[in-house]
Amino acid sequence: MTWKEKLAGQIPPAWAEEIDIYETQLELRKLGKIDEKLFAETRLRRGAYGQRYDNGQRFDGFRTQQLRYPKAGLTKGPDTEWDAPGMQRIKIPFGGLNPTQLETLADVAEEYSDGILHITTRQDFQLHFVHIEDTPTIMRRLAAVGITTREACGNSVRNVTACPLSGVCRTEAFDVTPYAKALTFFLLGHPDTQDFGRKFKPAFSGCEDEACGLVHMHDFGAVAKIQDGRRGFKVFVGGGLGAVPYQAKVLAEFLPVEELLPTAQAIARVFARLGEKQNRARARIKFLVDKLGIEEFKRLVFAERQTLPPDPRWTQFPPIEEKPIQPPGSLPAEQPPGFPAWLATNVYRQRQSGYATVTVACPLGDITATQARQLADLVRRFSGDNVRTSVEQNLLIRWVSEQDLPALYAELQRIGLGEHGAGTILDMTACPGTDTCKLGIASSRGLARELRARLAGQFFTLDEAVKGLKIKMSGCFNSCGQHHLADIGFYGNSRTIGNHKVPHFQVLFGGQWTHNAGRYGLAIGSVPAKNIPAVVERVTGRYVNERQPGETFPAFINRLGKAEARRMIEDLMQVPPYEQDPTFYSDWGDPREFSMGDIGTGECAGEVVSALQFELSAAERLNFEAQLAHEAGQFAKADELAYGAMLQAAHGLVRELWLDVPHEPAVVVAEFKTRLAGLFPAAQAAYLYKRHEGAPAATAEAVHRLIEEAQLFIEGAHVCADKLQQQKAAARDAILKK
Amino acid sequence: MITHKIGIKFFFTGPATKPLAEYIPVFHGWIRRQALAGHLLIDVHDYSHVHHGPGILLVAHEANLSVDEAEGRRGLVYLRKQPARPPEILAAARQAVTLLGEPVEPTFEVFVNDRLAPVTAADLGTALGASLTPKPVDPRARPTFLATVSR
């Protein structure tokens, strides 16, 4: 029995069909019938991402080895070996999970990955070392418990994040969860989100002053606000980290909740129409907002909003009902050893009296499959159904009765998840870095592991002001570790000393986590990786000794000034000669001599594949399936598929000129005739008209001819698509020049 | 036919006093020499920060190997990913543990990393040439057996 057979009927039909299509695309790629770039973007939009060394090369410390995979020559993207291990990203909207989902995640981590669930800085999970051919099964097993991986990567709307305390927070305006969920499923697969030049990341916060959803660093951010008794959002657009960080701009001071989804849709249309498609480094929406100016961007968005056909989903916000399993209670007097320290850092008292939210600190965002199952048991026993992931790579158990806190702590200790220090200097955030990322320069996880080990031993003797600092690190300037937002941030880079490369980290001080990522840190200087622990020790020591009463770390750094901050660590920037100390020439946790040779081509930017190209690819797939049906003697089915292939191609072309074209064949054909008569080769267009107006092909010969004609129609569509794309680019340039 | 998705764990004898990090250069050395016959060794991953986790992981195309600490017992896990017959899997696991040079206990653990695979202790034992008894585990965990070589 296969998982597809076992789970039949348990997966939402639309999701099941999508995964079947994806599986067919895998087979077509193996047959060489899908271009590698198109396949790369296809798998990225299903969350299947490349991983380090997937170009078939790896530096072993002495030389670059060729990794000779069995299916040599077959690729799953440009310069990406088919058999090379990859990563599967799994979207968790607003970080919300239930115990059954946690158990399924554990099972797939064990069976197809390395037994580890990794929580990302955007509330996703990632599985590493996954074979591409296992991905459809992973997707089916997750879909059966309500999890989709669709649009987890690629040029799409990524996971919609939200403050993990939404609904239980003491300072929020209201619970943003229903709105985050509604936006997730409204934009998921929406035709208006299929033509982006880069990814698009939304976030929600319940209040403006806390860290919450970090909306200022997002492409789209919404902060809950109540005005004149009405619920709405302060909406931000055009924020982002990456190599060039931008603070988001205010799109609307107050947008009533019923305007949230249509406004997001209008933004998507403007971004798809005017966003950069060629230069990947400037294709995020932050560059478009910057180029147009926020006032012009606003004007375009609200003008677009007026053109949108009404959609009933705009006002559907299904309530999220969380029911605690235990009655509220008070903290018992009897407490196990270690409990007070854990209580101080890992427990948040909810606004609902007698309940608390517990942060389960997951070191470097990792938990084992076994721990995930054990945690599912604890959630059922102490909470009910209510787990959330956090952007600090932890798990939160909500609705824990305060009387159960000591017992829950004891159980977490038993399963190795009872570490104190959540949200403190011990709770570091690190992206995968050189461990698995193709773009990683230095080992962010290796550094985090080292710093954690050093600080854990002295945590109880640290000054209280230091305990509360945040350290975040990324393996490169792309900021997946959110280093800009930390009191002390690092990102990996490299310097050449003599004939050797030395791993370094750029040091940033004074970023602001609160106020939704209110301020980005200042780059101070690049320090060899092996001296970073000394940087932490020195700057925290100076903060303890020189801070003024009540002075925060960012304020202290601001007062100190960039020049003095640099002077403080200048001696640590020096690298001893290789002959004197070769340890500087390898990275944390990696004994190989450091090299930049393993850096590959990143897939964060995806491949630029337009929505039209996807429709044409779908048309080709349908026509291929028509051939298979014809071979099997299923002539009626083959006829339907070949006809469907022409309609799909025609729909894609018409949609370039009319975004809201429906899929009804009569409308598609009529609009095709009207709008594309001068652009599409007439002889090939006639094949569509003939089949649309005539009877279905019934004999083997007639169906065979129809399939040939459909193929010619698709060829014509490709030619026409080029012309349309040129027209579109010219129109875009004209608007941007104006 | 018995699934190839079989894991074998050889338990190290004695207490686990050696820091896990010491296995990192060992595995890098294996990759440099491509020391495990019949395997394309790819990368090393450090999970030493995870409680009772995979410890230090060596990823190959054919299998994942790890100095594993599940249930607090250190040992070498060989987890097959690509098709092979059970005796070949056991031989590869033995090859790896010999190469590592750690003394191991005579009893080892076998688990089936496929929740759909219909496997009995008798069938799997026959295929491996070992005597298998089911190990009581969480019903959600993978079917697991304790094994001794019978021939």
Digit-coded pLDDT (tens) for A498-534: 889 999 999 999 998 888 788 899 899 999 999 999 9
Arithmetic mean of pLDDT, A171-188: 97
pLDDT at A95: 98
User: pLDDT tens across A194-227, in order?
Assistant: 999 999 999 999 998 887 789 999 999 999 999 9
Q: Which two tokens stand for residue A207?
A: 């209040």
Arithmetic mean of pLDDT, A261-267: 98
* Measured distance CA(A696)–CA(A638) in Å, rounded: 10
Residues of A in contact with B42 (CB under 8 A): 53, 58, 67, 84-85
pLDDT at B151: 46
CA distance A251 to chain B (A): 43
Q: How many CB atoms lie within 10 A of CB A391?
A: 25
Arithmetic mean of pLDDT, A686-709: 94
Give the three-state DSSP class for B109.
strand
**E-strand spans in A214-270?**
220-227, 230-237, 249-256
Do residues B47 and B69 lie in contact, with contact meaning Cβ atoms separated by under 8 Å? Answer: no
| Nearest residue on chain B to A60, alpha-carbon basis | B32
Higher-pLDDT residue of A727 and A603 is A727
Contacts with A, B 119-138, CB within 8 Å: 138
CA dihedral A429, A433, A435, A440 (to 10 degrees): 180
Bridge partners of residue A202, in order along the sequence: A220
* Measured distance CA(A275)–CA(A605) in Å, rounded: 14
* Measured distance CA(A217)–CA(B16) in Å, rounded: 45
Q: Write down the mean pLDDT value for chain B.
A: 95
pLDDT-based confidence at residue A50 (cuts at 50, 70, 90): very high
Arithmetic mean of pLDDT, A617-621: 91
pLDDT at A310 over 50: yes
pLDDT at A735: 85
- Note whether B60 contacts A: Cβ–Cβ < 8 A: no
Query: φ, ψ for residue A207 (rounded to 5)?
Result: -145, 160
Residues of B in contact with A1 (CB under 8 A): 116
Name the DSSP letter for residue A154: S
CB pairs A-B closer than 8 Å: 104
| Orientation of helix A260-274 relative to helix A294-307, angle to 10° | 110
CB contact under 8 A, B49 and A364: yes
- Note whether B43 contacts A: Cβ–Cβ < 8 A: yes
Do residues A438 and A78 lie in contact, with contact meaning Cβ atoms separated by under 8 Å? Answer: no
CB contact under 8 A, B81 and A131: yes
Do residues A704 and A686 lie in contact, with contact meaning Cβ atoms separated by under 8 Å? Answer: no
Residues of B in contact with A446 (CB under 8 A): 46
* Measured distance CA(B138)–CA(A533) in Å, rounded: 41
Q: Which two tokens stand for residue A382?
A: 């102490």
Side chain identity at residue B112, one-letter code: V
Bridge partners of residue A548, in order along the sequence: none
What string of DSSP letters covers B30-90?
HHHHT-STT--EEEEEEETTSTTS-EEEEEESSEEEEEE-GGG--EEEEEE-S---HHHHH
* Measured distance CA(A209)–CA(A74) in Å, rounded: 51
Counts of helices then strands in chain B (DSSP H, E): 3, 8
Do residues B49 and A369 lie in contact, with contact meaning Cβ atoms separated by under 8 Å? Answer: no
User: pLDDT tens across A89-101, in order?
Assistant: 999 999 999 999 9
Nearest neighbour of B49 by CB, restricted to A58, A61, A366: A366
CB contact under 8 A, A116 and B32: no
Arithmetic mean of pLDDT, B118-142: 93
pLDDT at A737 over 90: no
Nearest neighbour of B24 by CB, restricted to A364, A417, A591: A591
Name the DSSP letter for residue A403: G
CA distance B9 to chain A (A): 15
pLDDT at A605: 65
User: pLDDT tens across B19-69, in order?
Assistant: 999 999 999 999 999 999 999 999 999 999 999 999 999 999 999 999 999
pTM of the model: 0.93
**C-alpha distance from residue A382 to each of A101, A105, A677, B141 (Å):** 17, 20, 65, 22
Q: Which of A348, A412, A402, A347 is nearest to A378 (CA)?
A: A412
